[in-house]
Chains A and B, each alone.
Chain A
Amino acid sequence: MRQLIEQQILPRVTKPIRYQGNEFNSVHKDWGKAQVRMAFAFPDLYEVGMSHLGLQILYGLVNDREDLLLERVFAPWTDMEDLLRRHNLPLFSLESYRPLRDFDILGFTLQYEMSFTNILNMLDLAGIPLRAAERSDSFPLVVGGGPCAYNPEPLADFFDFFVIGDAEEVLLEIMDTAKAFKQGPSGRIAKGDFLAEISRVRGIYVPKFYEVSYNASGGIEKIEPVNPRVPAKVVKRVVKDLNTAYFPTKPIVPFADTVHDRVMLEVLRGCTRTCRFCQAGMIYRPVRERDQETLLKQAKELVRNTGHEEISLTSLSTADYSCVQPLITSLMEEFKNEMVGISLPSLRVDAFSVDLAKEIQKVRKTGLTFAPEAGTQRLRDVINKGVTEENLMEAVAGAFAAGWTTIKLYFMIGLPTETKEDVAGIAELAYKVLKKGKEILKEQKSKKSLKVTVSVSSFVPKSHTPFQWVAQDPVVMLQEKQQYLKSLLKDRHITYNYHDARLSFLEAVFAKGDRKLGQVLETAWAKGCKFDSWSEYFKYETWLEAFRECGIDPEFYAYRRPGFEETFPWEHLHTGVSKKYLFEEYQKALQAELTKDCRLDRCPGCGVCGDLNVKLLLQRRGKGGAL
């Protein structure tokens, strides 16, 4: 099959390098010697998938074990798909060019809702029946993990099971269990027995063992396990200490230019800032920091093993890392001769972050992005952003003074309680930033041109957040707000970007969706929906047709304001954060009342530490950190 693809297919597609699979540090194992074989599937393009740290972690973790094998597969671009279909070739893994059907386990990472149709498309391309109930033991087990696994209900029909939470430990448990249930001359896994066994493991959710009943108004009556042996609530997995957790120091080095083409050094996991819209901030709790020595050692190995010219210090909020300043200083010192740059993917809006940016731009200068999220102080308090206009002005002043001339600002529209004033506030803030820049450039007698980019996305209410009770703004309202902002941002130094509100609407539907949406997904896919988050393939009308055909109203999911008592489709999946706490945060939001970071202030009682028997793991030794 490899020969056929390399000679007849690859020369005809754009970027054949996407399908090569022989990158430096890729692992090519003896198929026959591996006892459990898994394919890690990323339901988007190679360039997107290879920028995902989770893939590298699990790839290294599994392939370090002699008896196990993990290979990769990405969504093929449409030209590749057409050729595969025309030649009747099944979707294959990159390393061994084996059909996906031949694997024991097929694992999809669920990074965003609008990649769900790509999952169905990949299964179909692989010749694997879409619905779990239609797959006999001769097909692979299909598992999903990642952030969207916290509400996987729209996918429940298509998956055998889901992993809720960190996968570093549980994936090996899954593969060991699979090994034990491989049987007979065919060597396939006895799925029924396997699922019965694995459903009792913490962090594993087997949807067919849970029955959902609906009430008259279309909401959920209850979700119950079908037998007493499975837990009523599936509790997420947490790796307690990142210092002892597996971390790959020989990641695959892609040839192709990927979205994040650099070493990813994960400095911490979790975030306790409590932005009320942010799902990641809730599901990745508690904060667990890696110690500096571990990070320095990993950074050295990573650069030696990859040759990358840049190290990205990744996390939800790297400026919050207790030892961020000493860490950056040590890394800069370590790599100054090799011209390895350091980058911070997400900056907090304050002067401290700008100081960090100044420090790292000695090697390579990158753009600066800040996320005030909302245009007025009142609305920033509603979302608990914990950022003031003063913070922002201080930060941008520092940035302009240090020589940056392009600044990007991220905002959201459609946040709860938003008024016209709040929307106008986005434009006002942009103009203030521009004015500040002009003043500073004038002082410096600089002739450089300024550019402020205002990037505005539409708020999507997500499960497991205080805003899960919020109704999304209707598409037309979001579009009006987008146009209103456009009319206000008429300066040639300001660039204004915004996303398709219709895509955000569908995202909300699936983010808060239930099992009934499975048929909509299947219908939309059958009508040709795929690569929905790629604007050239997004077919909104087709999606609406699919909803109509299935007799399902998408507005029910996105526009309704549920009550506190309402049972959510994800009620049986537990992040450790209590529903009561989320609702309290929602109430506080409506009053524009702030909640402080629990690292700085008292514990607001989210419940994670007690419920999951974990604790914040902070490196207090560093000086100059944000704390």
Chain B
Amino acid sequence: MGRYRIEFGKESGARFLSHLELMKAFERALRRAGLPMAFSEGFNPRPKMSFASAVAVGVTSAREYLDLELREELEADQVLEKLRNTLPPGLSVVSCRKIPPKVPALMAEIEAAEYEARLKLTDKLTKAEIDDAIAKLLERDSIVVVKEGKKGPENKELKEGIYELRCTAVEEGWAHLLMRVKSGSRGNIRPEEVLKALQELALLSFEPELAVIHRTGLFVNRKGQLVSPMQ
């Protein structure tokens, strides 16, 4: 038995994969690679594979993570090499390392996520004006947006979950933002929710459907420090 943690990217065309489709794409790539997957028991055996976090349809990501179990113990480099040749376009493995059997599940460990967002502005705005709008948003005591819950619309408080939000540039009518937000099983802020707050509460006007969102990192908490799950 071997347990591995894999860092991968989800770019270009693959950004439209749903989480289920992504899992299936990996299972098939693993089988094409001839890697000896370990399976769950029961009527419908699934490969023992768990992902750090689901990334929304349409969002690209430079760094995603998955844990994988194999029936045999291979070198991490071998796993990486085999997968490299069988992944579909848009998915790419960055690195792979062996992890001890007792390491907690990825999903339980994730604390934060970092995103870059590009917004097509509908008004002519300068970086200073956007900085100002962001500052006003962050100064509020409460940042509440309405989200679609399982039982209809729900209010969601974002205030404590926004760790960082700033404008990095404005170019040709597009504003570039960077945000670091709470992520994982203990509370999850979606970048679309932050954008919604910017639009509704900070009155920043842009075309929400054309927002380009890219995840640049996922982080775990190690002794108070946010670090990559590969560390």
A binding-site residues for B, Cβ under 8 Å: 7-8, 10-12, 15-17, 20-24, 253, 255-257, 303-309, 337-340, 363-365
- Residues of A near B32 (CB, < 8 A) are 24, 304-307
Cβ of A253 and Cβ of B44 under 8 Å apart?
no
Q: Mark B171-191, 1 if CB is under 8 A from A, else 0.
A: 000000000000000000000
Taken together as a complex, chains A and B put the C-alpha atoms of A340 and B126 apart, in Å, by: 57
Cβ of B45 and Cβ of A363 under 8 Å apart?
yes
Q: Mark B82-117, 1 if CB is under 8 A from A, else 0.
A: 000010111000000000000000000000000000
- Residues of B near A17 (CB, < 8 A) are 16-18, 21
Partner among B30, B88, B209 whose Cβ is within 8 Å of the Cβ of A24: B88
Partner among B13, B28, B47, B90 whose Cβ is within 8 Å of the Cβ of A306: B28
- Give A364's nearest chain B residue, CB to CB: B44
Query: With A11-B58, A23-B88, A339-B39 in contact, is A308–B28 under 8 Å at CB?
Result: yes
Which residues of B26-71 are within 8 A (CB) of A? 27-32, 34, 36-37, 39, 43-45, 47, 57-58, 71
Partner among A255, A309, A365 whose Cβ is within 8 Å of the Cβ of B27: A309
- Residues of B near A7 (CB, < 8 A) are 210, 212
Q: Mark B1-31, 1 if CB is under 8 A from A, else 0.
A: 0000000000011101110110011011111
Partner among B17, B43, B44, B212 whose Cβ is within 8 Å of the Cβ of A255: B17
Partner among A10, A12, A20, A309 whose Cβ is within 8 Å of the Cβ of B31: A309
- Residues of A near B39 (CB, < 8 A) are 339
Q: Mark B68-83, 1 if CB is under 8 A from A, else 0.
A: 0001000000000000
Partner among A22, A307, A337 whose Cβ is within 8 Å of the Cβ of B13: A22
Taken together as a complex, chains A and B put the C-alpha atoms of A365 and B47 apart, in Å, by: 16
Residue among A8, A11, A255 with max Cβ neighbours from chain B (10 Å): A255
- Residues of B near A308 (CB, < 8 A) are 28, 31
Cβ of B31 and Cβ of A338 under 8 Å apart?
yes
Taken together as a complex, chains A and B put the C-alpha atoms of A20 and B18 apart, in Å, by: 13
**Which secondary structure dominates chain A's binding surface?**
loop
14 new A-B contacts, CB < 8 A, other than A20-B16, A22-B90, A363-B45, are A7-B210, A7-B212, A11-B58, A12-B209, A22-B13, A22-B89, A24-B25, A257-B20, A257-B24, A306-B28, A307-B32, A364-B43, A364-B44, A365-B43
Give A251 Cβ to nearest chain B Cβ, in Å.
12
Taken together as a complex, chains A and B put the C-alpha atoms of A365 and B42 apart, in Å, by: 10
Q: How many residues of B contact A (CB 8 A)?
A: 34
- Residues of A near B13 (CB, < 8 A) are 20-22
Query: With A22-B90, A253-B28, A255-B88 in contact, is A11–B210 under 8 Å at CB?
Result: yes
- Residues of B near A11 (CB, < 8 A) are 58, 209-210
- Give B211's nearest chain A residue, CB to CB: A11
Give A74 Cβ to nearest chain B Cβ, in Å.
15
Taken together as a complex, chains A and B put the C-alpha atoms of A338 and B71 apart, in Å, by: 11
- Residues of A near B212 (CB, < 8 A) are 7
- Give A307's nearest chain B residue, CB to CB: B28
- Residues of B near A255 (CB, < 8 A) are 14, 16-17, 21, 24-25, 88
Residue among A17, A23, A304, A337 with max Cβ neighbours from chain B (10 Å): A17
Taken together as a complex, chains A and B put the C-alpha atoms of A306 and B209 apart, in Å, by: 34
Residue among B16, B18, B21 with max Cβ neighbours from chain A (10 Å): B16
Closest 5 pairs between A and B when the two form their complex, measured CB to CB: A307-B28, A307-B31, A307-B32, A24-B88, A16-B16
Cβ of B88 and Cβ of A303 under 8 Å apart?
no
Partner among B29, B30, B36 whose Cβ is within 8 Å of the Cβ of A337: B36
- Give A10's nearest chain B residue, CB to CB: B16
Residue among B13, B29, B44 with max Cβ neighbours from chain A (10 Å): B13
Cβ of B29 and Cβ of A307 under 8 Å apart?
yes
Partner among B16, B27, B57, B58 whose Cβ is within 8 Å of the Cβ of A307: B27
- Residues of A near B210 (CB, < 8 A) are 7-8, 11
- Residues of A near B12 (CB, < 8 A) are 22
Taken together as a complex, chains A and B put the C-alpha atoms of A343 and B124 apart, in Å, by: 59
Offer 14 A-B interface pairs, CB within 8 angstroms, sorted by A.
A7-B210, A10-B16, A17-B17, A17-B18, A22-B89, A22-B90, A24-B25, A255-B24, A306-B32, A337-B36, A338-B37, A339-B47, A364-B43, A364-B44
